[in-house]
Chains A and B, each alone.
Chain A
Amino acid sequence: MLDKPASALRIRERLIESERLMEETGCYDGITELQLRNQDPLKFETLHTKLRAYCVSAREMARRISASPGVREVGEMVVAIYTPEGDAIALSNGIMVHVHTMSRFIKWMIRNGYEENPCIRDGDIFANNDAFIGTVQVPDVMDVVPIFHSGKLVGWAGAVCHELEAGGITPGGDVALAQERFTEGLFVCAEKVGENDEIRRDYVIRCERNLRMPIYWVLDEKAKVASCIDMRESVKALIDEIGLDYWMQVSKEFIEEGRRAQLARTRQLTVPGIYRGHTFYGHVTKGKPGYQPLGDPDWLYNMPIEMEITTDGKIIMDFEGTQPWGYHSMNCTPAGMDGGMFVTLTQHMNFEGLVNDGAWMATELKLPHGTWTNPDNEMVATATSWALLLPAYGVFQRLLSRSFIGRGFVEEAFVGQVNSPMIEMGGTSQYGKLFGMAHFECAAAGSGALAIKDGLDTAYVGWNPESDMGNIEIWEQNMPMLYIGRSIVPNSGGAGKYRGGCSFVSTWLVSKTDHLRLVTSEHSSRVFDNGGMCGGYPAPTCQKHRAVRNSNIFELAEKRAPLAHHTGTNPHRSELELRLQGEHVTMEGPYITAPHKTGDVFTHSYNGGGGYGDVLERDPLKTAADVENGYLTKEAAEGIFGIMLDEDEDGYPVANLEATKRHRAEMRAKRLAKAKPVSEWIASERGRVEKADFAPEVKKMYASAIKLSSRFTREFSDFWNVDARSIFMPGAKP
């Protein structure tokens, strides 16, 4: 019944042995010398590139099988080839988040005795979307198949797609309202879902009966299995060519080479030392329908990160001082934290394509037990873990960028990612059928600025390096809403010498339905969840939602009167309020409300990225072009950047360099006059700290951080010269 691995050890024993060898030698699987690489480097590199090509080709083929616009249009998929022990050897492009999460899934099955029951046989298909086993969130469903050659387990092929619908308490994949695991939707927990290369009918029936839009999930399953089989057959043919012994050795050398390459790259691009940063996330749900009273409805999380780069090139990220897990959908598992790390690291340091799990082995995550990064309760929900992952790894990007600036690789310094709030929806489609979907145009937010240029406008998210928003026409085919506008949001990039990329706002008319549930996830309230760098400001990231119920839009259209196509630039009165009659709604935080129907109008804003450098150094000519193209308003150019603009004879903005120089000199003088020494500010703020004169959510945040972290307590106390515990936890036992 059992298939023995090539080493003649049982695979579980082989895994333990591999980990022991790594611990003893510091090298992957005890490979202290890259013998095959040294023997024939050309053959070695050719094989590595071949494996990468197998993955890229399998992913492209699979995308054409999928029915989901998330996979077809946006490319929410990645595939990879693994060793028998579950370490990634090669991977495709795509959502590289999942390279190590799938590794965790394979290792979990090995550790949990899957060899004995349910057995690992040629032709088997295993699936998982349980983040505590190895994925990020419930919609990230992965499939792996074992690769056997000559009767021996010689590797695994794996594929992940982000599903647009997961069957949770609210529609879509990122189940915003889930407060516990039990409301997140359909779980497949390291389950054998197919045999003999065929997906089991009973599994498909379970999907069909538990999802709002099973066609996405089920066809994605077929796409993933097809890609896995394709990779498996390619690897088997390769082994026929190079021999089994060579394969078993070379696949491990690829990983050890990846580990060494990552360490070398860190030594080449960065500066050793300790880097620190932080960001925040605010969540506001008080009074919203559907939330169970399990925890505080409104809360504030701090995310302090300390990154150490050691002189041997290892990157260590420490999340000590952050907040506990909570009854919300934004918790994260260690697998998810790995995913965030891997997708960020590979974009910044491993862009040549030959990355694998070796890069992960050159890093370390310190995730305090009991926090949202490593919950001590496996019943917590993780369906929207990106809400916290993105801000956290945005900090990582800024910390890495500080090291690039120190070393002189300014072209790699990048202020980083922001949250890109997502719309989830479900109900009755425009075809009169049950439907559910996540809208992925959020895959094109504004990026942070670079240290040498502005950020990308409407073109970047951290979680999908390809960052494609898909086609409007395809989205319209899949949901009962029509676009009546999609516009750049002026001033939505963080200000700076180089501004952050701008975001956009979409405006929809609900059409041909009497029941459309709209829910949003992954956007912060009341705080910035990103930052700027070197004097640049954070981007505005706490947009409210605006909608109009029972609007008079059809009447206006009939009369050919102007419609609202965006929210406009007046924060106190939107274009919707100006142009449309009906019941106007402005909602802070997640949009969770009663169903919409035909004639309602809904808008949703995405986020821009943080800025880099002092605003008073921004190029006036570039700014004039920004105003002309709607990325900045004239008022912002003058008021924030100190850039005076005239108009040419055609009414286009032209920078007035002399007036700009004078205005900036005044602004600088005002700045100096207004600023006070930091020591004075600390002395004046200390009284407020001693009295804990803060909003309840801020006080709660400090109390939670102090309870979980002695380091946070010490640093807070030392900075303010106070006893933090007695202030925020009066009466608590020491």
Chain B
Amino acid sequence: MTSYSKEVIADLVAGTLPWPQTRRVMSAYKDDDRFFKYVAVLQDRVGWKDPILLPVSDHLFICQSGDERVTRCECGHSFGDYRKNWKLNAAIIVRNTEESLREIYPNSDIPDPQWMEIREFICPECGTMHEVEAAAPGYPIVHDFQPDLEGFYREWLGKPL
């Protein structure tokens, strides 16, 4: 069975594993013990103690916080109950003018702000940009991911939550 050390997984996640080795990881049969090593690597990275239950973005994690399960930023900021859309508790910058779109797209043809806007969802504490939506004006904010956390742990990982 394929397996890698926690150090290799840490380098892979950080994007610092040398390419030839990364290529071999991509081509090989997958390591079935990846998930808990991955979570351990991320747990070392964050500055808080709440156990990570599931990473949901580059710097966003569902974690066990006392009796609650919340979506937490790497900086520690909580976006509340993991079953609710964390974006509703984020800060937002909307680019809906030619000038503001031009800041990101300096030399290409850009969308018509009457047809499309860019929404940047930001942690109100550390300023990390967690997600960007490109949407028509008026389009409801999308709830990206509602994991079946119980089913995942119970049926796929074979461990209680």
Return chain A residues, CB-CB under 8 Å to B144. Answer: 275-277, 402
Once A and B bind, how many residue pairs between them come within 8 Å at the CB atom? 253
Within 8 A of A (CB), among B7-27: 9, 12-13, 15, 17, 19, 22, 25-26
Quick check: B132 and A532 within 8 Å, CB to CB?
yes
Return chain B residues, CB-CB under 8 Å to A533. Answer: 131
Q: Looking at B92, B134, B137, which has the most chain A CB atoms within 10 Å of its CB?
A: B134
Contact among B93, B118, B145, B156 for A402, CB-based, below 8 A: B145
Given contacts A272-B147, A527-B111, A639-B103, contact A681 B92 (CB under 8 A): yes
Quick check: A614 and B128 within 8 Å, CB to CB?
yes
Quick check: A528 and B147 within 8 Å, CB to CB?
no
Quick check: B115 and A490 within 8 Å, CB to CB?
no
Q: How far is the CA of A412 from the CA of B30 in the complex (A)?
A: 11
Q: Does B47 contact A (CB under 8 A)?
A: no
Q: Looking at B25, B87, B132, B148, which has the most chain A CB atoms within 10 Å of its CB?
A: B132
Quick check: B115 and A282 within 8 Å, CB to CB?
yes
Contact sample, A vs B, 9 pairs, CB 8 Å cutoff: A280-B136, A304-B142, A311-B155, A402-B145, A408-B13, A408-B34, A412-B26, A526-B111, A528-B111
Contact with A along B129-149 (1 / 0, CB 8 A): 111111111111111111111
The range of chain B's interface size is 35 or more
Given contacts A273-B148, A407-B35, A526-B112, contact A678 B91 (CB under 8 A): yes
Quick check: B107 and A678 within 8 Å, CB to CB?
no
Quick check: A640 and B54 within 8 Å, CB to CB?
no
Return chain A residues, CB-CB under 8 Å to B141. Answer: 678, 682, 719
Q: Does A249 contact B (CB under 8 A)?
A: no
Q: Does A268 contact B (CB under 8 A)?
A: yes
Q: How far is the CA of A633 from the CA of B110 in the complex (A)?
A: 17
Stretch from A68-76, A179-187, A539-547 contacting the other chain: A539-547
Q: Does B94 contact A (CB under 8 A)?
A: yes
Quick check: A278 and B93 within 8 Å, CB to CB?
no
Q: Does A613 contact B (CB under 8 A)?
A: yes
Return chain A residues, CB-CB under 8 Å to B143. Answer: 276
Q: Does B161 contact A (CB under 8 A)?
A: no
Q: How far is the CA of A267 from the CA of B37 in the complex (A)?
A: 17
Return chain B residues, CB-CB under 8 Å to A543. Answer: 108-109
Give the B-binding residues of A (Cβ under 8 A): 267-269, 271-280, 282, 300, 302, 304, 311, 402, 405-412, 451-453, 489-492, 495, 497-498, 526-528, 530-538, 540, 542-544, 568-571, 588, 612-616, 633, 635-636, 639-640, 668-669, 671-672, 674-679, 681-682, 685, 688-689, 694-695, 697-698, 701-702, 715-716, 719-720
Q: How far is the CA of A719 from the CA of B138 in the complex (A)?
A: 10
Quick check: A531 and B87 within 8 Å, CB to CB?
no
Q: How far is the CA of A452 from the CA of B26 in the complex (A)?
A: 12
Residue of B nearest to A692 (CB): B138
Given contacts A408-B9, A681-B94, A720-B140, contact A311 B148 (CB under 8 A): yes
Contact among A280, A452, A633 for B116, CB-based, below 8 A: A280
Q: How far is the CB of A270 from chain B (nearest CB, A)?
A: 9
Quick check: A452 and B35 within 8 Å, CB to CB?
no
Quick check: B116 and A410 within 8 Å, CB to CB?
no
Q: How far is the CB of B147 from chain A (nearest CB, A)?
A: 4
Q: How far is the CB of A659 from chain B (nearest CB, A)?
A: 19
Q: Looking at A277, A402, A532, A535, which has the most chain B CB atoms within 10 Å of its CB?
A: A535
Given contacts A528-B111, A535-B128, contact A678 B90 (CB under 8 A): yes
Q: How far is the CB of B127 from chain A (nearest CB, A)?
A: 4
Contact among A279, A544, A681 for B109, CB-based, below 8 A: A544
Residue of B nearest to A273 (CB): B147
Given contacts A535-B58, A675-B91, contact A271 B136 (CB under 8 A): no
Quick check: B109 and A695 within 8 Å, CB to CB?
no
Q: How far is the CB of B126 from chain A (nearest CB, A)?
A: 8
Contact among B15, B57, B146 for A453, CB-based, below 8 A: B15
Given contacts A614-B129, A675-B122, A678-B87, contact A542 B148 (CB under 8 A): no
Quick check: B132 and A536 within 8 Å, CB to CB?
yes
Return chain A residues, CB-CB under 8 Å to B105. Answer: 491, 540
Return chain A residues, CB-CB under 8 Å to B136. Answer: 280, 300, 302, 527, 694, 698, 701
Q: How far is the CB of B25 from chain A (nearest CB, A)?
A: 6
Return chain B residues, CB-CB under 8 Å to A492. Answer: 108
Q: How far is the CA of A613 from the CA of B120 in the complex (A)?
A: 12
Return chain A residues, CB-CB under 8 Å to B35. Answer: 407-408
Residue of A nearest to B27 (CB): A351
Q: How far is the CB of A722 from chain B (nearest CB, A)?
A: 10
Q: Does B5 contact A (CB under 8 A)?
A: no
Q: How far is the CA of A571 from the CA of B105 in the complex (A)?
A: 10
Quick check: A526 and B38 within 8 Å, CB to CB?
no
Contact among A268, A528, A633, A682 for B106, CB-based, below 8 A: A633
Quick check: B127 and A671 within 8 Å, CB to CB?
yes
Given A271-B147, A535-B58, A698-B136, 12 extra CB contacts under 8 A: A274-B145, A275-B145, A405-B56, A408-B38, A452-B22, A453-B19, A491-B107, A497-B58, A526-B115, A530-B134, A531-B132, A682-B88
Q: Does B55 contact A (CB under 8 A)?
A: yes
Return chain B residues, CB-CB under 8 Å to A530. Answer: 134
Quick check: B12 and A411 within 8 Å, CB to CB?
yes
Residue of A nearest to B125 (CB): A672
Return chain B residues, CB-CB under 8 Å to A569. Answer: 106-107
Quick check: A411 and B22 within 8 Å, CB to CB?
yes
Return chain B residues, CB-CB under 8 Å to A412. Answer: 26
Quick check: A411 and B134 within 8 Å, CB to CB?
no
Quick check: A408 and B39 within 8 Å, CB to CB?
yes
Q: How far is the CB of B38 from chain A (nearest CB, A)?
A: 3
Contact among B13, B89, B131 for A535, CB-based, below 8 A: B131
Given contacts A280-B135, A537-B118, contact A273 B145 (CB under 8 A): yes
Q: How far is the CA of A613 from the CA of B13 in the complex (A)?
A: 13
Given contacts A489-B108, A491-B106, A679-B88, contact A276 B142 (CB under 8 A): yes
Contact among B19, B109, B151 for A311, CB-based, below 8 A: B151
Return chain B residues, CB-CB under 8 Å to A532. Answer: 132
Q: How far is the CB of B89 from chain A (nearest CB, A)?
A: 7
Quick check: B104 and A640 within 8 Å, CB to CB?
yes
Quick check: B12 and A280 within 8 Å, CB to CB?
no
Quick check: B107 and A570 within 8 Å, CB to CB?
yes
Quick check: A695 and B114 within 8 Å, CB to CB?
yes
Return chain B residues, CB-CB under 8 Å to A495. Answer: 104
Residue of B nearest to A398 (CB): B144
Return chain A residues, CB-CB under 8 Å to B147. Answer: 271-273, 406
Quick check: B156 and A491 within 8 Å, CB to CB?
no
Q: How far is the CA of A107 from the CA of B122 in the complex (A)?
A: 51
Q: How far is the CA of A489 from the CA of B107 in the complex (A)?
A: 9
Quick check: A406 and B54 within 8 Å, CB to CB?
yes
Quick check: A267 and B106 within 8 Å, CB to CB?
no
Q: How far is the CB of A460 from chain B (nearest CB, A)?
A: 15
Q: How far is the CA of A24 from the CA of B82 in the complex (A)?
A: 38
Contact among B9, B116, B122, B137 for A526, CB-based, below 8 A: B116
Quick check: A677 and B30 within 8 Å, CB to CB?
no
Quick check: B34 and A409 within 8 Å, CB to CB?
yes
Quick check: A694 and B137 within 8 Å, CB to CB?
yes
Quick check: A411 and B25 within 8 Å, CB to CB?
yes
Q: Does B48 contact A (CB under 8 A)?
A: no
Q: How far is the CA of A542 from the CA of B145 in the complex (A)?
A: 28
Q: How far is the CA of A402 from the CA of B146 in the complex (A)?
A: 11
Given contacts A527-B116, A535-B129, A675-B93, contact A685 B138 (CB under 8 A): yes
Contact among B13, B39, B130, B138 for A410, CB-based, below 8 A: B13
Quick check: A694 and B138 within 8 Å, CB to CB?
yes
Q: Looking at B19, B59, B121, B138, which has the most chain A CB atoms within 10 Å of its CB?
A: B138
Q: Looking at A274, A527, A540, A675, which has the most chain B CB atoms within 10 Å of its CB?
A: A675
Q: How far is the CA of A105 from the CA of B67 in the complex (A)?
A: 55
Given contacts A274-B145, A678-B92, A688-B138, contact A402 B56 (CB under 8 A): yes
